[in-house]
Amino acid sequence: MAIKITEECINCGACEPECPNNAIYEGGAQWSIADKTSVTGTYVLMDGSMVDVKARFPALAEDTYYIVPNKCTECQGFHEEPQCASVCPVDCCVPDEAYQETVEQLLAKKEALHP
């Protein structure tokens, strides 16, 4: 499943550069599939909708850093464990129960983001 950032986040910024998928954004920042991924053209989100990879979407949190579930692969294909959780000083990067995904699904997402 994807990882999420809880309200305990102290906005230190340590996690953001560690994410291999650029799934982590500062509060209030818009996100896009294309940010630091190699995918071009269109992309199918987890809900089945197709978007332009360069389309920018509203922030998912305003006051803390946040993770885009559509870009988080739990670091599968890159690292042994979620890098955001590894570096977070307050342990506020936790599994997001709303997004139950198998390792195969996470690896498929990684391949889709980095074809």
> Interface with ligand SF4 by CB under 6 A: which residues?
3, 5, 9-15, 18-21, 23-24, 65, 67, 72-75, 82-84, 87-90, 92-93
The sign one gets for the Cα dihedral 110, 53, 6, 91 is: positive
* Rounded Cα distance, 101 and 105, in Å: 6
Whether the CB-CB separation of 87 and 38 falls below 8 Å is answered with: no
User: At its nearest, how many Å lie between ligand SF4 and the CB of residue 22?
Assistant: 8
User: At its nearest, how many Å lie between ligand SF4 and the CB of residue 95?
Assistant: 9
User: At its nearest, how many Å lie between ligand SF4 and the CB of residue 43?
Assistant: 16
- Nearest CA to 21 among 46, 2, 42, 6? 2
User: At its nearest, how many Å lie between ligand SF4 and the CB of residue 86?
Assistant: 8
| 31 or 82: CB nearest ligand SF4 | 82
| 19 or 33: CB nearest ligand SF4 | 19
Helices (H), 1-115: 83-87, 103-113
| 1 or 53: CB nearest ligand SF4 | 1
Query: First CA to last CA across the chain, in angstroms?
Result: 21
